[in-house]
Copies of this chain bind each other. A is one copy, B any other.
Amino acid sequence: MLDVLPMPLAAAGEAAEVLFDLFLVLLAAKAGDEIFKRIGQPTVVGEILAGVIVGPSVLGIVDLGETLEVFAEIGVILLLFWVGLETRFSDLRAVGAVAGLVAMLGVVFPFAGGVTLGVLRDEPTATMIFLAAALVATSVGITSAVLTEFGAVKTRPGRTILGAAVVDDILAILVLAVAVGIAQEGSVDVGGIALTAGLAVAFVAFVALGGGALLSRRPQILTAPHFADSPLLPAVLLCFGLAVVAGKIGLAGIIGAFLAGMVIAESSERENVENEVGVLYAFFPPFFFASIGIQLDLGALTDLDSLTLVLGITALAVVTKLVGGYLGARRALGHRDALVVGVGMVPRGEVGIIVASVGAAEGVIGDDLFGVIVAMAVLTTLIVPPVLRRLLDGRPDIDVEHLGRPGMQNP
């Protein structure tokens, strides 16, 4: 029983240090959560700011290591799994055309904005494309969390955002594939990109059509006595399994988790799974939100040029996505709901950071620009929740019974 030793002994010490970091992150995130709940603000903002505080920007006591990354990844997987549980395929089909248009315009406008900025700054082509890709990517994790917190997942704009996010992810994959191709080879591998796109679409269609049909006909798969007494274990394995498969074919893991949630939502076990997964849902996602804040390094952004660039890119990111999403939804949903959709697509969150990391790994995004993009991703993420809250306030179709995030704080 000697997990941690009084002397500096490497073997047992590392896991203990990591555990200590995780404890600090959870403590900080929950404190931020609690403070923001008390002042009536979206709790995700409190959790992200907690990450900013314990991260390199302020206290510098926690770094983003492998384990914290995995906790964050599981957090966002569970977030999307939860949102999937709240979503029916028929809901998405109903908003399909609008969602497709929203996703399309929500990619085109930011991409054009990124290219324009790149040309104005006289960046090399590869850098320009990566800048555009970072502006394209929407973080459905953040928006989903905010929609869930406000009980707005089942509203029409909420569903439109979710549907658009799935399409957005497929488009964003293609943009990034183009960016990586240009950075690596100076050209685009059309065949490879078409293959990726085909696989992604086939996966979504296969799970959505096949899985839903199978579980609605044979719900006992989730509770078969030869497998488990409770549906939670098969549900969690399905969620992680589809996340892993989605990842293997180049899609985001969270898309697989979202589909897994939707598949289970079609079965009669939905409520049981939701009740039992609540604790996991309360435990992991705070690591996701805090880790976004931890990735920000304000110290690297003190000169005037960087600050101007951050504000400029952030404004560009907000305006282009908002306009794209709004125009895509305007005709079908009307002014106010189209505004909700446009705002809901704005957060770049972890996705913008990942694109910037890939660009840095390819050697086409320098340290300065990397810091700027991360700041843009965090700022767009912090701006949206309060705005979305104002826009959703007082809507008759908000499901007040589901207000607040479920789990630990709201059992």
**Beta-carbon contact of B244 and A23 below 8 Å:** yes
**Beta-carbon contact of A252 and B3 below 8 Å:** yes
Does A367 belong to the interface (CB within 8 Å)? Answer: no
**Beta-carbon contact of A409 and B247 below 8 Å:** no
**Beta-carbon contact of A2 and B70 below 8 Å:** no
Stretch touching chain B among A209-217, A354-362, A394-402: A354-362
The complex is assembled from copies of this chain, and their number is 2
Does A176 belong to the interface (CB within 8 Å)? Answer: yes
Residue of B nearest to A404 (CB): B229
Does A375 belong to the interface (CB within 8 Å)? Answer: no
Taken residue by residue from 260 to 283, chain A's Cβ proximity to chain B (1 for < 8 Å, 0 otherwise) reads as: 000000000000000011111011
A204: shortest Cβ distance to chain B, in Å? 13
Does A408 belong to the interface (CB within 8 Å)? Answer: yes
A230 CA to B279 CA, complexed, in Å: 11
Task: Determine the chain B residues whose CB is within 8 A of the CB of A137 once the complex forms.
Answer: 1-2
Task: Determine the chain B residues whose CB is within 8 A of the CB of A355 once the complex forms.
Answer: 2
Interface size on A, residues (CB 8 A): 88
A245: shortest Cβ distance to chain B, in Å? 10
**Known contacts A409-B228, A410-B229; is A2 also within 8 Å of B354 by CB?**
yes
**Beta-carbon contact of A3 and B354 below 8 Å:** yes
**Beta-carbon contact of B1 and A230 below 8 Å:** no
Residue of B nearest to A355 (CB): B2
A70 CA to B279 CA, complexed, in Å: 19
CB under 8 Å from chain B, chain A span 1-38? 1-7, 9-12, 14-16, 18-20, 22-23, 26-27, 30, 34, 38
A283 CA to B20 CA, complexed, in Å: 20
Q: Which of B19, B248, B354 contacts A243 (CB 8 A)?
A: B19
Does A67 belong to the interface (CB within 8 Å)? Answer: yes
Binding site for B on A (CB under 8 A): 1-7, 9-12, 14-16, 18-20, 22-23, 26-27, 30, 34, 38, 65-67, 69-70, 73-74, 137-141, 165, 168-169, 172-173, 176-177, 180, 184, 192, 196, 226-230, 232-233, 236-237, 240-241, 243-244, 246-255, 276-280, 282-283, 351, 354-355, 357-358, 360-361, 408-411
Given A2-B173, A7-B177, output 8 extra A-B contacts at Cβ < 8 Å. Answer: A1-B351, A2-B355, A3-B252, A10-B361, A11-B358, A27-B241, A34-B228, A277-B279
